[in-house]
Amino acid sequence: MTIRVLVVDDQMMVREGFSVLLNAMPGIEVVGEAVNGLEAVRRVREVAPDVVLMDIRMPELNGIEATREIVASGSGAKVLVLTTFDLDEYVYQALRAGASGFLLKDASARQLADGVRVVASGEALLAPSVTRRLITEFSKLADAPRSLAGAAGSAGSYGELTERETEVLVLIAQGLSNAEIASRLVVAESTVKTHVSRILVKLGLRDRTQAAVFAYEARLVTPG
């Protein structure tokens, strides 16, 4: 199936550049563009994209707030945040708002296309340089476990998870794919997918990225 993408950036050359690059990739189609967060929220309703490429610094409504509104609307669109600023505050706020991935704008065309495919498939995506900063940010969190703000419904307690589900959640937070988790636990990949689905339902989370954030905030994973 073709992945439908909405490109959101206040700079025309950036929007057009991303659109040209993505339209040249097999299985990806740019179905719309938006110049700011307000227009992005409206365009998501109009064109129903699978993935939204979202800039962070924009007038009227920034990418973080736009992401929060898109997630709250119940849209199935996955948000892939793109920015030139790999600062902790942007990474953390974007993921807390519900973004499924994060890439810097200097990523290659291939990395950009691969990123779109990864988040469209439900996987989490973080640029390596951003991941290092994110882990540092998590290490500064308060000692007391916290529920995940912005998740669908109440995040609840991770005590609701079975021992195996908790184990899978930890491995998700460590960045392992379903195939890698299956290999680590010596189970079928389909079994891992079932565990992941149950984890998201029990904790009221939207996707794997939110699950990873939850695991760090709940202190199930120790940074480093």
What tens digit of pLDDT does each residue of 83-139 get? 776 555 677 788 888 888 888 888 888 889 988 998 888 766 665 555 555 655 655
- pLDDT tens per residue across span 29-62: 999 999 999 999 999 999 999 999 999 888 889 9
- Cβ count within 10 A of residue 154: 10
Amino acid at 43: R
Question: Does the pLDDT of residue 145 top 50, yes or no?
Answer: no
Instruction: Report pLDDT for 176.
Output: 80
For the chain, give every domain's residue range: 3-136, 142-217
Percent of the residues in the chain that have a pLDDT greater than 90, as a whole number = 43
What fold, for 142-217? Arc Repressor Mutant, subunit A (1.10.10)
What is the DSSP-derived secondary structure letter of residue 73? T
Burial of 5 (0-12, 13-18, 19+ CB in 10 A): buried
Return the structure tokens found at 40: 């992005």
Which CATH superfamily is 3-136 part of? Response regulator (3.40.50.2300)
3-state DSSP: the chain helix, strand, coil percent, rounded to 5? 50, 15, 35
- pLDDT tens per residue across span 170-190: 888 877 888 889 999 999 999
What is the DSSP-derived secondary structure letter of residue 175? T
* Distance separating alpha carbons of residues 90 and 92, to the nearest angstrom: 6
> Of the candidates 82, 77, 73, 74, which has an alpha carbon nearest to the alpha carbon of residue 101?
82
* Distance separating alpha carbons of residues 66 and 97, to the nearest angstrom: 9
